[in-house]
Chain A
């Protein structure tokens, strides 16, 4: 894997990975729940800014990885709920693979270089 291959999409790819992963385990969720969940699981290390999250969700819906519908939330308000699609699951698998190999590579460099 060349570094150039993923230079531009690195951050975006990571965001997609986090969102898709969250949706694949959490089922149907709205944007706020997704960001809360990521923060909670990562013990507040990873914070997703809403200004990045929502464009990413809309972009992923255009790409067909998630779909959305308006529904009523726990606090009785209208919210947009996102669900991962099968194309999204395939994408998640690719991104996970990608991330893991990257992590292994970076780890090796840190240990051996």
Chain B
């Protein structure tokens, strides 16, 4: 408690001083009284008491020292001095701080990623005992899923496993909830939940009896239970319709449970994996179908290595026992089949490992660069303060006292770097989450700024700040305390520093240019005449019920459209698949033209199945002939409509209507008469039109369709009215993804490139800030180092330009080198981006010029600050001071 009291005494200054005074006064007065009693005069008594007492000052100092934790205010004063130092060069200090915060923040964010992927255990009971089992082939993909018969053999033979289960994913249609829906279902082997250690929120898990045919059961996830069953607590026992089968709900999973790493969408419902011969037997047709994910739980005493060895033995036995399955070709070549066991967590994040390594390397590099910058900043700073340091040293400040001053500054540095680093880490984590969401929603959900990430970030900030502050200490402590004369010992910046700077500039320019092209392409894809009018259209996706097949699909859709047209407020309604041309999906042959293989492979067109009103709903102009009618149905002559692009490129400007064409892949392939020509529409993800073939929805059956509803008012039609109309025809028709078409288009065109542009853009911003800070610190350092030389040159007649050249020449030269390298890389890189993202313009000279100009402007500003500072000094004063 006493140290605490010494701390608290910091705030009791006045009261303490009064106590000391009282005590001293008592001593004095008692002595004087005694002297007077002994016969002295008052004056002599006082004089004797004073002499006898000794130094009052020393007594009070000593008492205070005993009572108060004085090093704290002293350190506080140093802190204030540290902050004041930073305030003297605010721009430079801010740049160095921002750079360091960026480095620390990026490192923190990467740690969050690694924490989510590798360090934090999966959210299941004893997750370190969960493994997966897979196959490898020497020929073919390195790792694939095992087959069910293989897993059954492993289960029978392996002693290291407590349990082994598996799961795969399917689309389901569900009825009997609040509305029919398309859901993602997992077919889980009945022991899966037990392997994962889940306790149901309601009802029960699957039992072995559920695996057989007979009584279909299902378990709802928390999400589906809330969305489609109104969180009904009595849902257990309810009958629902799943893919047309009456199914009993036996349980509801807790909200915390997720096991959908391998499926593209979150799982809504679990059903038992059917243990029927078609899956379990080696003679059945599914014997080589590899689509399940195996999940095993090891016994507590078993290691992954032992399990791997054991399963490896099973694999070799299988290859020997079933040569038919594991040898291929006429020469019965062995395919190098083997089985392996891997920690579930490792296998889950195997896909992300390359990305994680890459971003880790980038973050560490960033941190290093930031630390180098900061070290150089502090060194330049210390150089400028060497006079102050020398003065303090001469006045008797010991090394320790000076070191404490530097340490106080590094505490300021660490505090700022930690605070800034945490803020930026949170920002980077959000970016990482958005970036990983599309590929790996499970990982994305696990990236967060939790306590361990915060601790890591703060520790990194502290360590780096401490190391940075050591730079001037080490560099300067080697020289004599009279640091004033130490300038001559200071080495010029190493070549590596300049190369680093040029590299930063090059990266910044490349990233900026490519991000600019991507952003530009988004604008291009969403502006101008698309050939159709998306405004006012709502798009809704649907998948026809499974029992409706073949030609009756078209009939069902025709009835939907009929009901929808009756809704007041609907201007027109149509169906299409896909709703816009995506890519040239079909070969086609125009009759009476050459059909050699080369021509054929070059002749590709987008293939779109539409209802008659598609063109009217989308406001696509009809250029010749007619659109489809409801009489273009199965049994009538097959008809097609082509677009202008097709007509011009493949019919040499001749009349197209009435000509014949064969198009469609596989079973869809058909000879068709062209009945009309329509205007081009801009495909979803590129600018240039592509040849298009439209066919009638009554002549080509397709279960997945988009419904396009155009409202005749400003407001979209109420979704409820649309659902009621469709359910009046087919009560089990799920409808989903209802969205305004413009929004959908924006996401289709912008989403992938927007996140890439964001990533590149933030990378570029980082590189700009860091390289600017680099230029700034380099010039500051050179200026500080050559202060005397500059003064001398100015005295003998050097002009402003000469001085600027002297201190910033190398920096500017290397910056320009980096700029040119960056421009070259941007031109090369834009080719790669163009290949992956349609609608990206070839290198945009204006954009590159703008970037170069902005960069040079920022660079000149960064360089001029310290260089002009050198000019403000009075050369005579500097020379005199030496």
Min CB distance A69 to B, Å, is 12
- One of A51-59, A91-99, A103-111 contacting the partner: A51-59
Q: B872 interface residue, CB < 8 Å from A?
A: no
In the bound complex, residues from chain A placing their C-beta under 8 Å from that of B52 are 50
Q: A49 interface residue, CB < 8 Å from B?
A: yes
On whether the beta carbons of B53 and A50 are closer than 8 Å, the reply is yes
Chain A positions 38-83 with a Cβ under 8 Å from a chain B Cβ: 49-56, 58-59, 61-62, 64, 73, 75, 77-80
On whether the beta carbons of B54 and A75 are closer than 8 Å, the reply is no
- One of B19-27, B222-230, B407-415, B687-695 contacting the partner: B19-27
* Nearest-neighbor residue (CB-CB) of B6 within chain A: A62
A53–B53 CA distance with the chains assembled, in angstroms: 10
In the bound complex, residues from chain A placing their C-beta under 8 Å from that of B29 are 77
Chain B positions 51-65 with a Cβ under 8 Å from a chain A Cβ: 52-56, 58-59, 61-63, 65
Min CB distance B63 to A, Å, is 5
In the bound complex, residues from chain A placing their C-beta under 8 Å from that of B63 are 54-55, 58
On whether the beta carbons of B26 and A78 are closer than 8 Å, the reply is yes
On whether the beta carbons of A78 and B62 are closer than 8 Å, the reply is no
On whether the beta carbons of A52 and B54 are closer than 8 Å, the reply is yes
Q: B33 interface residue, CB < 8 Å from A?
A: yes
Q: B67 interface residue, CB < 8 Å from A?
A: yes
A79–B67 CA distance with the chains assembled, in angstroms: 18
On whether the beta carbons of B54 and A32 are closer than 8 Å, the reply is no
* Nearest-neighbor residue (CB-CB) of B55 within chain A: A51
On whether the beta carbons of A51 and B67 are closer than 8 Å, the reply is no
On whether the beta carbons of A64 and B2 are closer than 8 Å, the reply is yes
Min CB distance B15 to A, Å, is 12
Min CB distance A58 to B, Å, is 4
On whether the beta carbons of A31 and B23 are closer than 8 Å, the reply is yes
* Nearest-neighbor residue (CB-CB) of B19 within chain A: A80
Q: B31 interface residue, CB < 8 Å from A?
A: yes
In the bound complex, residues from chain A placing their C-beta under 8 Å from that of B6 are 62
Give the size category of B's interface with A. 20 to 34
On whether the beta carbons of A31 and B27 are closer than 8 Å, the reply is yes
The winner among A55, A59, A62 for most chain B CB atoms within 10 A is A55
A32–B34 CA distance with the chains assembled, in angstroms: 11
Given contacts A49-B54, A50-B59, A51-B53, contact A78 B22 (CB under 8 A): yes
Given contacts A54-B62, A55-B63, A58-B63, contact A80 B26 (CB under 8 A): yes
On whether the beta carbons of A32 and B67 are closer than 8 Å, the reply is no
A64–B2 CA distance with the chains assembled, in angstroms: 9
On whether the beta carbons of B62 and A55 are closer than 8 Å, the reply is yes
Q: A37 interface residue, CB < 8 Å from B?
A: no
In the bound complex, residues from chain B placing their C-beta under 8 Å from that of A49 are 53-55
In the bound complex, residues from chain B placing their C-beta under 8 Å from that of A73 are 26, 30
On whether the beta carbons of A32 and B31 are closer than 8 Å, the reply is yes
In the bound complex, residues from chain B placing their C-beta under 8 Å from that of A64 are 2
A73–B25 CA distance with the chains assembled, in angstroms: 13
On whether the beta carbons of B59 and A55 are closer than 8 Å, the reply is yes
* Nearest-neighbor residue (CB-CB) of A79 within chain B: B26
A58–B9 CA distance with the chains assembled, in angstroms: 13
In the bound complex, residues from chain B placing their C-beta under 8 Å from that of A56 are 62
On whether the beta carbons of B26 and A51 are closer than 8 Å, the reply is no
A31–B30 CA distance with the chains assembled, in angstroms: 11
Interface of B is mostly: helix
Chain A positions 19-38 with a Cβ under 8 Å from a chain B Cβ: 30-32, 35
* A residues contacting the other copy or chain, number (CB 8 A): 23
**B26-60: contact bitstring with A at CB < 8 Å (1 yes, 0 no)?**
11011101000000000000000000111110110
A112–B576 CA distance with the chains assembled, in angstroms: 118
Given contacts A32-B27, A75-B33, A78-B22, contact A58 B67 (CB under 8 A): yes
On whether the beta carbons of B33 and A62 are closer than 8 Å, the reply is no
On whether the beta carbons of A62 and B54 are closer than 8 Å, the reply is no
On whether the beta carbons of B65 and A54 are closer than 8 Å, the reply is no
Q: B66 interface residue, CB < 8 Å from A?
A: yes
In the bound complex, residues from chain A placing their C-beta under 8 Å from that of B62 are 51-52, 54-56, 58-59
In the bound complex, residues from chain B placing their C-beta under 8 Å from that of A52 are 54, 58-59, 62
A79–B27 CA distance with the chains assembled, in angstroms: 9
A79–B28 CA distance with the chains assembled, in angstroms: 12
In the bound complex, residues from chain B placing their C-beta under 8 Å from that of A58 are 62-63, 66-67
A53–B56 CA distance with the chains assembled, in angstroms: 11
Min CB distance A20 to B, Å, is 16
Min CB distance A102 to B, Å, is 25
On whether the beta carbons of A51 and B66 are closer than 8 Å, the reply is no
On whether the beta carbons of A54 and B23 are closer than 8 Å, the reply is yes
Given contacts A51-B58, A75-B33, contact A62 B26 (CB under 8 A): no
In the bound complex, residues from chain B placing their C-beta under 8 Å from that of A51 are 53-56, 58-59, 62
* Nearest-neighbor residue (CB-CB) of A31 within chain B: B27
The winner among A35, A53, A54, A56 for most chain B CB atoms within 10 A is A54
A5–B157 CA distance with the chains assembled, in angstroms: 73
Q: Contact partner of A62 among B53, B56, B66, CB < 8 A?
A: B66
The winner among A50, A59, A64, A78 for most chain B CB atoms within 10 A is A50
Q: Contact partner of A54 among B24, B31, B33, CB < 8 A?
A: B24
On whether the beta carbons of B26 and A30 are closer than 8 Å, the reply is yes
On whether the beta carbons of B65 and A32 are closer than 8 Å, the reply is no
In the bound complex, residues from chain B placing their C-beta under 8 Å from that of A31 are 23, 26-27
On whether the beta carbons of B30 and A50 are closer than 8 Å, the reply is no
In the bound complex, residues from chain A placing their C-beta under 8 Å from that of B67 are 58, 62
In the bound complex, residues from chain B placing their C-beta under 8 Å from that of A62 are 2, 6, 66-67
The winner among B29, B55, B63 for most chain A CB atoms within 10 A is B63
On whether the beta carbons of A54 and B59 are closer than 8 Å, the reply is yes
On whether the beta carbons of B26 and A55 are closer than 8 Å, the reply is no
* Nearest-neighbor residue (CB-CB) of A48 within chain B: B54
In the bound complex, residues from chain A placing their C-beta under 8 Å from that of B66 are 55, 58-59, 61-62
Interface pairs (30), CB distance under 8 Å: A30-B26, A31-B26, A31-B27, A32-B26, A49-B53, A49-B54, A50-B24, A50-B52, A50-B54, A51-B58, A51-B59, A52-B58, A54-B24, A54-B59, A54-B63, A58-B62, A58-B67, A59-B66, A61-B66, A62-B2, A64-B2, A75-B30, A77-B26, A77-B29, A77-B30, A78-B22, A78-B26, A79-B26, A80-B22, A80-B23
Measuring CB to CB, which residues of chain A are less than 8 angstroms from any residue of chain B? Answer: 30-32, 35, 49-56, 58-59, 61-62, 64, 73, 75, 77-80
The 4 closest A-B pairs by CB, nearest first: A55-B62, A51-B54, A49-B54, A58-B66
